Amino acid sequence: MENFVVSARKYRPATFDTVVGQEHITTTLKNAIKTNHLASAFLFCGPRGVGKTTCARILAKTINCQNLSAEGEACDTCESCVSFNQNASFNIHELDAASNNSVEDIRNLIDQVRYPPQSGKYKIYIIDEVHMLSSAAFNAFLKTLEEPPSYAIFILATTEKHKILPTILSRCQIFDFNRIQPGHIASHLATISEKEGITAEPEALDLIAQKADGGLRDALSMFDLNVTFAADRIIRYKEVLDNLHILDYDYYFKLTDLLLAGSLPQSLLTIDEILRKGFDGHQFVVGFCRHFRDLLVCKDAATVQLLQVTENVRRQYLDQSARAPMSFLLSALSLGGQCDMNYKQAKDQRLHTELWLMKLANLRNLLNWETLPELPLNGFNSKEPGSVELVSPEKKNASPNPSSPQSNPGPQLTENHPITSEPVNGYVANTPVPVETPAEALPVTENSYSDAASVKDIMASSGVITTQEPATKPKITPLQRPATSKLRSTVPLTAGAVKPTAQADDTPATVTPARPDKPFDLEKLQDVWVSFAKIRQRQNDSATEQLVLNRELVLEGAIIRINLDNTLQVGYLTELKPELLGYLRNELQNSQIQLEHTVTQQEVKKMIYSSQDKYNFLAEKNPALHELRKVLNLDVDY
């Protein structure tokens, strides 16, 4: 009985032309061989199963080939190629750095490098998993790697480039291998199937290629698994789904249709079926978000090429994408990202996933996308290159009122621009103030989402909602306040009258007469000051603030002087000053009151710590102690 050889070894590439998906590497290496521009050290780095060690062996074989073809490929007939194919070449040495990573192993390799090849032109040393070498082994290898003999070439291979010392990287030509595209993997698997006499559905091979995640060796291992399962040597799509335990596209399409229809019960039953089949909930969340991303890229013809699926699945994506509104996809992706990030921290992960589906099923009622214009992926409407204004059905069907005047000098009370006579942020406006889009045009409640961005913000970022600027900016008259007052103060602080704003109908405004300043004394000032301190204590029980307000006051005319101890108290007083002045001026009915402060640093008494300090303190009080110390020839005990 013939021994079985796995496809990864049986169909391992033997020439540069048979390497899959690494054309940028193979073309460079072939040109280097043809022009004799070979470096002394190569570093092949990239993910697992993409052809690093395979290319290293092909390069080692081609370098010593005695009859190179015009394309720079090995002949496979000369003595060197035959010995290489039989694993009997004395010029090619392979070292597994994962198990030979000590200094002694590198020293043995360096000793071998000293001897030139007996036949052939070069001696090639392939060191696989080179990142596993110890720091001492790397340092022992540095000198030989930088200045090797003319006949020695080193080929290093690794999956973790960041673990290699920079001094090693600077001595090598670095080749970065890419993940192999699913299309290339599926095509290669189809070729192998044809050679082996196996019938394979294109969807099945494409599914294997997607699951391999860019690694051809993984794809070949999964291919062998499914060939073993298929007794009739037919690889079917459904069987591959079961063998590789992959969630079918049909579940994603079915669940999306249910969510678009707002059918929450059926959606929960579908997710229950998925979980009962043993699929991981987190993988379902990631896969469903990927499904929404694929639907999103189908919204524009320029991005459809980013969809790497078979033609049959592509048609399904295009059909469902046409029925899924842009606002739904953006909201689903935003909520899905939050669900993905918080999944591991959730105590009940199934409930966490079901809450996401509940929100998605309710998006239909919240967004009311039947009344919203559908936009392409670029965010612009084909009719207007600018912004889109949403109009409610009531406003769309309403006919214009012929009795309303066409010209009116005064401001009109409109839905989008209501008239306001109240001060807004310290200002009084006599013209319409623009507001946001009416609620009936966008029936979205932002409180519906506690753990994700609001749907309204998502639609605004995608261009569905834009804020319309008014044609003419309103004239705003600021209230006259002193520079020291805060916007939150509601007490008028000026002695003069506030100039009223002009009315819409040019009616003369009533001028408020100025209030005369009343004199006050220190006793009355202290009473008002204490009452303010009590009010502040009820609002903010801060010990430092009360310490500032309980200082001694000095009154000089209308100027109040207060003495503080440090800059910290100055900061508290500066914060209180606008509110304090407003209260004092209002209660004492005097707009000329000013508040000034001075800082007097308190003298800090020096503490006695050492024996010398104690002696100096006592000698300062009784100078005779110095004389006694000199007469008795005493020293201070430390």
Q: Do 62 and 157 belong together in one domain?
A: yes
Rounded Cα–Cα distance for residues 619 and 292 (Å) = 88
- The pLDDT-based confidence of 289 (bands split at 50, 70, 90) is very high
Tens digits of residue pLDDT in 400-411: 444 444 444 444
Rounded Cα–Cα distance for residues 114 and 241 (Å) = 55
Q: Is the pLDDT of residue 460 over 70?
A: no
Question: Are the C-beta atoms of 446 and 454 separated by less than 8 Å?
Answer: yes
Question: Are the C-beta atoms of 563 and 598 separated by less than 8 Å?
Answer: yes
Average pLDDT over residues 209-228: 85
Q: Do 141 and 238 belong together in one domain?
A: no
Would you say residue 618 lies in a domain?
A: no
Tens digits of residue pLDDT in 32-72: 888 888 888 899 998 888 888 889 988 888 888 888 887 77
Q: Identify the CATH number of the domain in which residue 193 sits.
A: 1.10.8.60
Q: If you search the block for the tokens 């992706």, which residue do you land on?
A: 333
Give the rounded percent of residues in the chain with a pLDDT score beyond 90: 4
pLDDT at 506: 46
Q: Identify the CATH number of the domain in which residue 557 sits.
A: 3.30.300
Q: Do 172 and 188 belong together in one domain?
A: no
Would you say residue 528 lies in a domain?
A: yes
Would you say residue 11 lies in a domain?
A: yes
Q: Do 75 and 203 belong together in one domain?
A: no
Q: Do 56 and 161 belong together in one domain?
A: yes
Q: Is the pTM of this model over 0.85?
A: no
Q: Do 80 and 125 belong together in one domain?
A: yes
Would you say residue 265 lies in a domain?
A: yes
Question: Are the C-beta atoms of 411 and 432 separated by less than 8 Å?
Answer: yes
Which DSSP string do the residues of 82-98 spell out, in sequence order? HHHHTT--SSEEEEETT
Instruction: Name the strand (E) or helix (H) holding 112.
Output: helix 103-113
Q: Do 53 and 128 belong together in one domain?
A: yes
Q: Which residues pair with 44 in a beta bridge?
A: 157, 175
Q: Do 281 and 208 belong together in one domain?
A: no
- Residue that terminates a domain, selected from 336, 371, 406: 371
Cα 222 to Cα 13, 181, 230, 522: the distances in Å are: 18, 16, 12, 94
The count of domains in the chain is 4
The whole domain housing 589 covers 522-599
Question: Are the C-beta atoms of 43 and 173 separated by less than 8 Å?
Answer: yes
Would you say residue 572 lies in a domain?
A: yes
pLDDT at 238: 83
More confident residue, 467 or 46: 46
Q: Do 154 and 23 belong together in one domain?
A: yes
More confident residue, 139 or 385: 139
Q: Identify the CATH number of the domain in which residue 303 sits.
A: 1.20.272.10
Tokens for 395? 């406003």
pLDDT at 389: 42
Q: Do 57 and 163 belong together in one domain?
A: yes
More confident residue, 472 or 116: 116
pLDDT at 470: 46
Residue 425 has a CB neighbour count (10 Å cut-off) of 8
Q: Do 14 and 88 belong together in one domain?
A: yes
Q: Do 109 and 235 belong together in one domain?
A: no
Would you say residue 399 lies in a domain?
A: no
Tens digits of residue pLDDT in 572-614: 888 888 888 888 888 888 888 888 888 886 655 666 667 788 8
Tens digits of residue pLDDT in 381-397: 444 444 344 444 444 44
